[in-house]
Structure 1
Amino acid sequence: MGGTTGQVRGKTQIETYLAYVDLVDGYGETFSDRNPDPVHKKQCKCEMVRDLETGEWVLHYHLHT
């Protein structure tokens, strides 16, 4: 079992969400447990935070096999 953690950044919340969806889709079925789950767009949006230095939206994630 393994996994990866990281963050996705974007100028807007939708840009950040779409980047996260692309990231998860790029792994295919490698990671079955995704936190947050990209299927739940509103949950992803609630978990985003604003980087006050850059103004970007940041979504921290954990993907686990």
Structure 2
Amino acid sequence: MGGTSGEVRGKSKVETYLKYFDLCAGIGSMMEGRNPDPAFKKYTKRQMVQDSETGEWFLYYHLHT
């Protein structure tokens, strides 16, 4: 299985989600046009964790090809 993985960080959950969405849209042509499904927006936000030192929210992701 191929793909790309990493993390996205932001000052709020909304900012983090928007960065994740932009990341997916930016590589959409390589990933067969896959963008985050709006139906899973709440699930995605529940997967975010807040860094206790910086206060930033981050989301680990793995996008399959």
CA drift at 1:3:
0.8
> Is 1:31 the equivalent of 2:23?
no
CA-atom RMSD in angstroms: 1.7
Q: For structure 1, list consecutive stretches of 5 or more residues without a partner in the other structure.
A: none
**Separation in 1, partners of 2:36, 2:28:** 13
Structure 2 length as normaliser, TM-score? 0.84
CA drift at 1:2:
1.9
Q: For structure 2, list consecutive stretches of 5 or more residues without a partner in the other structure.
A: none
Counting matched residue pairs gives 62
Structure 1 length as normaliser, TM-score? 0.84
Q: Which runs of 4+ in 1 moved over 6 A?
A: none
Q: Percent identity?
A: 60
